[in-house]
């Protein structure tokens, strides 16, 4: 700040640009360029001013805001004065700023912002010894007082605005009076008089507005005590209810323990026989649950019934037959891979330039990957294939639909800890999973398109079902989270019944991409339709919310017949288990949150459909792979030349040689780009010559239009397993 006062002049060299942004309602920050007097040698110099939290600071440039502040003045003790049309003088504690705006309008904006900031700074200084925010349950009743304080603060803001209006209005009226006193034509004098009257009316209106706000505040204060008394009464009632429920729970546990420890009653005891006969007559008395019906989505409130079924623990290395005897696979597969190296990497340095881009187009080191390709991740959907084996034996299509729904949910159970990105498959890359001798199925995936990335998958099982899908992954990096939207339908057909089911996947979201611990969530709705019988299952994946009282990762659903009548309720979580409950009765209940009448379903006790396998030992150091995932990249003889197991960068990463894996990854990606450029050149030449260019065609899949969905996508055309049996891979392209 200069020591010498500036000369009075209305001319300033150059021009100040308008402020960066107007003072928004509720905002305490105002920024813009002003000219500041330095000394007689340099005169006025253009500076960047920032008004925030009652402090006015200035910098030589906007870039200096990050490191160097040239001066600051506290508005709480400052005096604000205006010398002429464009000048502002700020003085505080012996320090004076002589400022000049480029226009009178801009000067007035700054003066208004400074006056409001000064009034707020004075209030904050006076309230420094005020109360802190309530932090305990007993202090929350003071929230109303906090609201009233906020209202008072806003009223003070209005009062300040009113004072400014009065001040500027008085100045306007003085100017108009001076004009009126001048010798002007009669017509002009009448116009000036009319403007003067309107200015007076404006001041009266603003005063009336302030008085109305003050009356409102007085009324709120009058009712606040009544609100506090009502709130205190409700709190006491809630505490009393919680104590009562706790006491009842203790009594229930005591009675249950006593019942279990009591000797078994003999068959000829009258009470016992009566109890037995009652149990034989109906199983709805004890094994009954009540569910609130769906409104717009499957949301249920349950009253937990006593579990009277024991759930069998299933081995991830084999199946259990109906007698409970474990069926081991013929070949013992690996149960561990090398531990993940502990390499540090600055994620933000890579991701900051990728916001808004397709994930498949972002060049990333293997540090963000897991040593599996997207084709292998797609094959992981078969982790719980035994659900489909069991569904194929069902005589009831509704029970079959319940198992299909459980299978659709089970495919997400492996994602709970799997925040790493799988390798993007190269165009024409394949992956086979031959479990014909172990579990009766064969699976084949192929990358059929690169932009957009799309993979086709086909599974045939000797146990009565066929599954196929074409999945295109649409993904966007949003700065704080990553959204992954699988596009495409999944088809499942059972051979004996001809039941044909179709559904689509939900959206996956990876949170805390930049800061914090990565975590993944699934959200959205799935509709599974049996196109032969028109039976449906509506599944809802509830998004996680910190403030919700619901179970995290909750999934709910309703299985209905072709007429829309509900027969089964599904409930559970996508990372643990799914249960089904048969509906025995439904009735109309009370109104829901949106005024809609709910249907209350009375059901039998739930039966376990699916339970997640426990993770292998040391899984946290093996990318949290499941038992199946650990075997997916295991080398096998006789696979196709384009199989993901033969991909060198993925193999090096699994071995812990990440630097070499990064080099191989760059080589493969550059090789793929070169092939794409060559194809584009061939297409251009064909176009110039008037020839038709076919372009890339997948080896094992071809395009067909689905009669049910009407979509055109790639389906398996056959030939792969025959080529494997004969070990003739001459048709395969060398992509690695």
Of 599, 641, 634, nearest to 728 (Cα)? 641
What gap in Å lies between CA 544 and CA 541, rounded to an integer?
A: 9
CB 378 within 8 A of CB 456: no
Residue 429 predicted with pLDDT over 90:
yes
Of 343, 341, 383, nearest to 654 (Cα)? 341
Q: What is the pLDDT of residue 349?
A: 52
CB 729 within 8 A of CB 723: yes
Instruction: Count the neighbouring beta carbons within 10 Å of the beta carbon of residue 364.
Output: 17
Q: What is the pLDDT of residue 278?
A: 38
CB 634 within 8 A of CB 329: no
What gap in Å lies between CA 443 and CA 382, rounded to an integer?
A: 9
What gap in Å lies between CA 526 and CA 528, rounded to an integer?
A: 6
What gap in Å lies between CA 603 and CA 585, rounded to an integer?
A: 7
DSSP symbol at 545: -
What gap in Å lies between CA 163 and CA 169, rounded to an integer?
A: 10
Higher pLDDT, 108 or 526: 526
Strands (E) located in 305-410: 319-320, 326-327, 369-373
Q: What is the pLDDT of residue 216?
A: 76
What's the chain's length in residues?
736
pLDDT band at 174 (very low <50, low <70, confident <90, very high): confident
What gap in Å lies between CA 424 and CA 366, rounded to an integer?
A: 11
pLDDT band at 231 (very low <50, low <70, confident <90, very high): confident
Residue 347 predicted with pLDDT over 70:
no
Q: What is the pLDDT of residue 352?
A: 55
471-506 tens-digit pLDDT: 998 887 776 788 888 999 999 999 999 999 999 999
Q: For helices 143-181 and 186-261, what crossing angle results, to 10°?
A: 170
CB 315 within 8 A of CB 335: no
Residue 338 predicted with pLDDT over 80:
yes
Residue 133 predicted with pLDDT over 50:
no
Q: What is the pLDDT of residue 348?
A: 55
Per-residue pLDDT, averaged over 165-170, amounts to 75
Kind of pairing between the strands at 607-611 and 536-541: unpaired
Q: What is the pLDDT of residue 256?
A: 74
Q: For helices 143-181 and 104-126, what crossing angle results, to 10°?
A: 140
Region of 551 on the Ramachandran plot (φ > 0 left; ψ -120 to 50 alpha; else beta): beta
Residue 3 predicted with pLDDT over 60:
no
């Amino acid at each position: 700040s200069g020591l010498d006062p500036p000369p009075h002049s209305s001319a300033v060299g150059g021009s100040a640009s308008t402020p960066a942004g107007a003072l928004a309602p509720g905002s305490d920050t105002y920024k813009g360029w002003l000219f500041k007097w330095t000394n007689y040698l340099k005169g006025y110099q253009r500076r960047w001013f920032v008004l925030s939290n009652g402090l006015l600071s200035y910098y030589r440039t906007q870039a200096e805001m990050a490191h160097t502040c040239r001066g600051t003045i506290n508005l709480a003790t400052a005096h604000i004065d205006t010398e002429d049309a464009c000048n502002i003088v700020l003085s505080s504690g012996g320090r004076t700023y002589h400022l000049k705006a480029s226009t009178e309008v801009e000067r007035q904006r700054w003066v208004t912002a400074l006056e409001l900031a000064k009034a707020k700074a004075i209030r904050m200084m006076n309230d420094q010894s005020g109360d802190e925010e309530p932090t305990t349950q007993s202090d929350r009743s003071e929230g109303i007082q906090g609201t009233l304080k906020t209202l008072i603060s806003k009223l003070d803001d209005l009062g300040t605005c009113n004072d400014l209006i009065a001040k500027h209005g008085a100045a306007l009226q003085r100017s108009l009076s001076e004009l009126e006193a001048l010798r002007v034509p009669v017509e002009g004098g009448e116009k000036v008089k009319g403007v003067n009257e309107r200015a007076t009316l404006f001041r009266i209106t603003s005063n009336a507005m302030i008085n109305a706000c003050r009356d409102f505040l007085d009324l709120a204060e009058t009712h606040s005590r009544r609100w506090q008394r009502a709130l205190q009464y409700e709190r006491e009632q809630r505490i009393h209810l919680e104590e009562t429920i706790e006491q009842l729970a203790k009594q229930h546990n005591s009675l249950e323990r006593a019942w279990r420890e009591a000797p078994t009653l003999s068959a000829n005891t009258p009470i016992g026989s009566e109890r037995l006969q009652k149990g034989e007559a109906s199983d709805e008395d004890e094994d009954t649950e009540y569910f609130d019906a769906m409104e717009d989505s499957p949301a249920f409130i349950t009253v937990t019934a006593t579990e009277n079924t024991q759930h069998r623990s299933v081995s991830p290395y084999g199946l259990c037959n109906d007698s409970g005897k474990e069926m081991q696979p013929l070949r013992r597969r690996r149960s561990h891979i090398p531990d993940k190296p502990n390499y540090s990497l600055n994620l933000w340095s890579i991701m900051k330039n990728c916001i808004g881009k397709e994930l498949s187009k972002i060049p990333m080191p293997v540090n963000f990957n897991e040593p599996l390709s997207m084709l292998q991740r797609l094959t992981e959907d078969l982790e719980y294939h035994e659900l489909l084996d069991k569904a194929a034996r069902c005589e009831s299509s509704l029970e079959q639909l319940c198992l299909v729904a459980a299978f659709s949910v089970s495919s997400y159970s492996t994602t709970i800890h799997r925040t790493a990105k799988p390798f993007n498959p190269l165009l024409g890359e394949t992956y086979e999973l031959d479990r014909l001798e172990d579990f009766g199925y064969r699976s084949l995936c192929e990358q059929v398109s690169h932009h957009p990335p799309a993979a086709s998958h086909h599974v045939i099982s000797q146990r009565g079902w066929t599954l196929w899908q074409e999945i295109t992954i649409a993904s966007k990096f949003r700065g704080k989270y990553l959204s992954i939207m699988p596009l495409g339908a999944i088809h499942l057909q059972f051979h004996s019944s001809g039941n044909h089911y179709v559904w689509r996947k939900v959206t996956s979201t990876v949170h805390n991409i930049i800061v914090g611990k990565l975590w993944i969530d699934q959200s959205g709705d799935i509709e599974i339709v049996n196109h032969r019988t028109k039976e449906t299952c509506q599944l809802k994946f509830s998004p996680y919310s910190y403030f919700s009282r619901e179970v995290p990762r909750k999934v709910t659903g309703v299985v209905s017949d072709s007429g829309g009548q509900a027969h089964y309720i599904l409930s559970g979580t996508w990372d643990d288990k799914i249960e089904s409950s048969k509906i025995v009765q439904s009735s109309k209940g009370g109104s829901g949150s949106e005024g809609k009448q709910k249907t209350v379903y009375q059901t039998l006790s739930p039966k376990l459909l699916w339970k997640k396998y426990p993770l292998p030992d040391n899984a946290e150091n093996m990318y949290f792979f499941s038992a199946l995932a650990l075997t997916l990249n295991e080398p096998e003889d006789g696979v196709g030349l384009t199989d993901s197991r033969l991909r060198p960068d993925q193999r090096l990463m699994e071995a812990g040689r990440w630097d070499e894996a990064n080099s191989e990854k760059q080589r493969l990606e550059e090789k793929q780009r070169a092939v794409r450029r060559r194809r584009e050149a061939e297409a251009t030449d064909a176009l110039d010559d008037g020839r038709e260019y076919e372009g890339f065609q997948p080896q094992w899949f071809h395009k067909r239009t689905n009669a049910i969905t009407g979509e055109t996508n790639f389906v398996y055309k056959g030939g792969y397993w025959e080529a494997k049996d004969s070990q003739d891979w001459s048709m395969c392209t060398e992509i690695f």
